[in-house]
């Protein structure tokens, strides 16, 4: 009797696993999320100067490095956070991983190239 129940449960699990969740995965978690599809979307990604240019290189490691000397005038012109990092002051460092910003620029570029390929094929 237990063997038949076990076989029945195994068959049920096999059938249930064949029924994939494609519809569930296609539903967006938030209706306000937009997936870029058009060439203007790709151009908008590439025109975001903050991500593509300003935040594209990790800087805090080099700011705290000892391979250069910062003149007093430049040190005074830096913000408080930049001064604290330069002198290795123990601070509550709650700034996100600045290495991720450089990868975000690469991701946006690759996404734009994918959009360009899809629009060229259509």
pTM above 0.75, yes or no: no
Spatial CA neighbour of 105 closest among 41, 51, 45, 54: 51
Q: Which stretch of DSSP H or E encloses residue 1?
A: none
Residue 23's pLDDT band (cuts 50, 70, 90):
low
Total structural domains within the chain:
1
29 domain residue, yes or no: no
Q: Is 69 helix (H, G, I), strand (E, B) or coil?
A: coil
Task: Tell whether 4 is covered by a domain.
Answer: no
Say whether pLDDT at 96 is over 90. no
Residue 91 lies in a domain: yes
Q: Is residue 61 part of a domain?
A: no
Residue 73 resides in a domain: yes
- pLDDT surpasses 70 at 12: yes
Position 114 scores a pLDDT of 94
Q: Any idea what the Cα angle at residue 90 is, between residues 89 and 93, rounded to 5°?
A: 110
> Residue 77's domain spans which residues?
66-95
Instruction: Decide if 89 is inside a domain.
Output: yes
Has residue 76 been placed in a domain?
yes
Task: Please report whether residue 120 resides in a domain.
Answer: no
What's the pLDDT tens digit per position in 33-74?
778 889 999 999 999 888 887 766 666 677 777 788 889 998
């Amino acid at each position: 009797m237990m063997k038949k129940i076990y076989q029945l449960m195994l068959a049920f699990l096999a059938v249930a696993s064949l029924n994939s969740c494609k519809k569930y995965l296609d539903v967006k978690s938030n209706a306000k999320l937009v997936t870029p599809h058009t060439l203007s979307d790709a151009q908008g990604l590439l025109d975001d100067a903050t991500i593509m240019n300003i935040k594209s290189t990790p800087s805090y490691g080099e700011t705290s490095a000892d391979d250069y000397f910062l003149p007093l005038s430049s040190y005074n012109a830096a913000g408080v956070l930049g001064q604290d990092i330069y002198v290795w002051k123990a601070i509550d460092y709650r700034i996100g991983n600045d290495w991720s910003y450089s990868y975000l620029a690469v991701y946006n570029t690759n996404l734009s190239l994918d959009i360009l390929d899809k629009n060229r094929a259509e």
